[in-house]
Structure 1
């Protein structure tokens, strides 16, 4: 795959809205454009797959957020009754044959650095027309939208060491978020049994509080565990290093031992690199 290699981290910069990047929104559902280049929410990790018979099949690019682990996907619902496009969303990857997360990168003629992100439905990822008042959503559409459909793939180097985790945070007064946390313990080689799982109700968004909760549940030291999220049974593990999305969707967490062989293989994009 010419523009993407499996496991690399990238940003997708929109050619029309030059200083804006594909962004996994904090609500855990929507995708927008953002100028926050140094944010983990504008970093995506490449997951290459092949589908089809005969041991070969067609190659597809999947992108999962380096912030929350969820995959760039096509919503099943149209944006509106008058607009035939569909919204780009963040979704779990739960089945090998799941089509809403499958993309291909197609070179734009005469533009060496630009690609079209072609969904398996034969629609293209595109920026919405600019509106300073409304949220800048991202659509998937068949109609030609010119350079709003052109994306520049920007590789992100890796950090030499994991980032420092955020301190404890609280929700604004009057806001309540409750989600189910499903957690599994990995051994030092990173192996875990997906059927050996436990769950509990977690309140809030704080990664610090979640780490403390799981340390207590597992009777381990707070500083000796690190958490990864898995967005669906086919999703790849993503290290959690920022607070959780502002939604109430269940989250699957795999707990690693800090400094273990498996933990040292986890990759962190250096979003601050120039």
Structure 2
């Protein structure tokens, strides 16, 4: 576990494939990609009860989870997905890091995180599978941890595309704005169309400004995703394609919550 420090961001590179564990932009799938400088390959480390890991996508806030469903066709073992931060089955998201000659990530429900299809590169999924022979462990279960340094300021939000994404259904946004004492300034819901995080911030700032609670500029607002243990992950990429309900915690620049935020420097 010394390879993983609570609160840090890491990349996980498959030793067998040379590619990185990637949170897919549907907000659900997990795959292997060659992308390096991408928030989709950054995972926030949370230590759970001192013995287990939670790996939360720095892009969409979903946790790496080993499900009971069979892996998709052409892949071995059980399916691995991103699971919502409010999902009730936390045991699916718990991992143990085992360091022998190589690093293995064991699911608490059995099996090891593995890459698939060394000789069929179009099969780029990951899954959880059992070790058949302890003396002959597949290199597809070997992982390399690359620590991502932190950056001091929030990354620029991607500018919106001038073309609307007509194929996406509108999603429900649930937002809360807590005060510094843990109470609630305000909360609400609204329906939002498209994936642009830039437009979502503008819309949220407009709605909060209409409440006349305070003089709020768009640049003063940081949208965050919650975690199981009360930490916050800044939302700095466009929204996932799944269209699932998004839970937003509003943080204001300069507040204690803002000062506690951590950003992965994926370009380093």
Same topology, TM > 0.5: yes
Q: Structure 1 CA distance, aligned partners of 2:86 and 2:109?
A: 18
How far the C-alpha of 1:160 sits from its partner, in A, is: 2.0
Cα distance in 2 between the residues matched to 1:83 and 1:268: 33
Runs of 4+ in structure 1 over 6 Å off: 81-84
Q: CA RMSD in A?
A: 2.4
Give the distance between the partners of 2:52 and 2:255, measured in 1 at CA: 32
Distance, in Å, in 2 between the alignment partners of 1:156 and 1:80 is 30
Post-superposition shift, 1:212?
Answer: 1.0
Residue pair 1:63, 1:72 contacting (<8 A) in 2 also: yes
- Which residue matches 2:213? none
Aligned residue number for residue 205 of structure 1: 195
Identify the residue that residue 29 of structure 1 maps to in structure 2: 28
Q: Tell me, what secondary structure is at the counterpart of 1:100?
A: helix
Answer whether contact 1:228 1:238 (CA < 8 A) is retained: yes
Please report how far the alpha carbon of residue 223 of structure 1 lies from its aligned counterpart in structure 2 after TM superposition. 1.4
Is 1:7 equivalent to 2:38 in the alignment? no
| 2:75/2:116 contact within 8 Å kept | no
Q: Which runs of 5+ in 1 are unaligned?
A: 51-57
- Which structure 2 segments of 5+ residues have no match? 210-215
State the distance in 1 between where 2:162 and 2:52 align: 40
TM-score (norm 1): 0.86
Q: By how many angstroms is 1:176 displaced?
A: 2.5
Counterpart of 1:118? 106
CA distance in 2, matches of 1:154, 1:190: 36
Q: How many equivalent pairs are there?
A: 257
1:20-71 deviations in Å (ceiling 9; x for gaps): 1111010100101111111110000001111xxxxxxx61101000111110
The 2-side partners of 1:80 and 1:9 are apart by 28
